């Protein structure tokens, strides 16, 4: 995603063009590194973890780390192992998510639990995490180890909270929702920016703007995902209404429920087993409440905060690329 944003702007900026070529080269190195890290003497583990990792994805977290590393301007430590760690941590969380959600495909390929069963999938996710942890020693004394340990705890707490909410079918408070999406998405994006900056030689204080940027970007990123669950056209990769079908109370769903007295909407939200027709009807009812526009406004606010967080940093192609990503995510200029 980030690479695509830079590429789209490169025609107007030679500096961004050079940056895009350098990032593309780094991401190619990352792919080779990931292939090495998924290797195992156990053929089932090797085949299945390699399939999921090689299926792609946005590689957003390693790209954010790389740009933050470049923002530091010192390149004090190697960045490739950190990029690999971040991608493996993210992929491991997706493998575990797929078990909980009983998803049959991820990025167009069969999920691991459909091949090896739930126990096998959990072990494969743990294998990816262990591979990531093998690289931590390279960053001893930088603060990176502590940052990644902290975010790992938060991600686990987030998954447990989502599981509990799904079982109780309770929306919880809006504060609970924002804590949940920070744990689910934003903290790892924030840690990607922070650790990339630390690897580049920044102090924690110097890296604070990038850490804040990643946190705000992560919230905006999840809000965009919430909107796409209700508005995405067919063929985008994620089936429309998937979160809605699971009974997940995303922000637009919360806004719709709070702002509407329509008994049909509330009856469908309370229905534990929604058909495809139920989901389509519910999406139409939610759109009528204005909840999508209200969520878009909140998304834009967090994207704006992400851009503003970068203000202490000197101007550079890297800062411009991070800014463009936040603007693209919001879908408009500020």
Rounded CA gap, 315 and 25, in Å? 23
Do 85 and 135 form a contact (C-beta atoms < 8 A)? Answer: yes
- pLDDT (tens digit, 9 = 90+) per residue, 45-83? 888 888 888 887 789 999 999 999 999 988 889 999 999
Q: Which residues of 213-231 are buried (b: 16+ CB within 10 A; e: fewer)?
A: bbbbbbbbbbbbbbbbbbe
Alpha carbon separation from 238 to 10, 35, 143, 320 (Å, rounded): 29, 25, 36, 29
The pLDDT assigned to 168 comes to 52
Q: Binning pLDDT at 50, 70 and 90, where does residue 334 land? A: very low
Provide the whole-model pTM: 0.92
Q: Check which CATH number belongs to the domain holding 62 and give it.
A: 1.10.600.10
Please determine, for residue 126, whether its predicted confidence score (pLDDT) is greater than 80.
yes
Q: Work out the average pLDDT over 204-221.
A: 98
Supply the pLDDT for residue 206: 97
- pLDDT band for position 219 (cuts 50, 70, 90): very high
Give the CB-side neighbour count of residue 80, counting CA atoms within 13 A: 14
Write the pLDDT tens digit of every residue in 94-117: 888 888 777 787 777 888 888 788
Query: In the predicted model, what is the mean pLDDT of residues 266-279?
Result: 90
Q: What is the pLDDT of residue 322?
A: 97
Number of domain units in the chain:
1
Can you give the residue range of the structural domain that contains 183?
2-330
């Amino acid at each position: 995603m980030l690479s695509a944003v830079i590429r789209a702007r490169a025609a107007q900026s030679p500096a961004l063009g050079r940056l895009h070529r350098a990032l593309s080269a780094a991401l190619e190195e990352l792919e080779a590194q990931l292939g090495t890290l998924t290797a195992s003497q156990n053929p089932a583990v090797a085949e299945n973890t390699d399939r999921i990792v090689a299926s792609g994805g946005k590689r957003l977290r390693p790209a954010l780390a790389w740009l933050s590393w470049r923002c530091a301007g010192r390149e004090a430590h190697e960045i490739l192992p950190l990029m690999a760690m971040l991608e493996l941590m993210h992929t491991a969380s997706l493998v575990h998510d797929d078990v909980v959600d009983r998803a049959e495909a991820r990025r167009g390929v069969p999920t691991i639990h459909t091949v090896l069963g739930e126990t096998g999938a959990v072990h494969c996710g743990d294998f990816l995490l262990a591979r990531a942890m093998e690289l931590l020693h390279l960053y001893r004394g930088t603060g990176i180890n502590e940052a990644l340990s902290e975010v790992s705890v938060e991600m686990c707490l987030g998954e447990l909270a989502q599981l509990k909410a799904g079982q109780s079918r309770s929306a919880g408070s809006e504060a609970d929702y924002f804590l949940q999406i920070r744990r689910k998405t934003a903290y790892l994006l924030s840690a990607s920016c922070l650790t990339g900056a630390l690897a580049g030689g920044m102090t924690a204080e110097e890296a604070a703007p990038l850490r804040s940027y990643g946190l705000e970007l992560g919230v905006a990123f999840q809000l965009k995902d919430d909107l796409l669950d209700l508005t995405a056209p067919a063929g985008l990769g994620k089936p429309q209404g998937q979160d809605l079908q699971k009974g997940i109370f995303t922000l637009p769903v919360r806004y719709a429920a709070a702002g509407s007295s329509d008994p049909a909407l509330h009856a469908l939200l309370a229905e534990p087993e929604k058909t495809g027709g139920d989901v389509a009807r519910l999406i139409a009812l939610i759109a009528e409440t204005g909840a999508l526009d209200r969520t878009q406004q909140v998304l834009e606010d967090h994207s704006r905060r992400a851009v503003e967080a970068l203000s202490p940093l000197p101007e550079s192609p890297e800062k411009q690329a991070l800014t463009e990503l936040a603007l693209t995510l919001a879908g408009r200029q500020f």
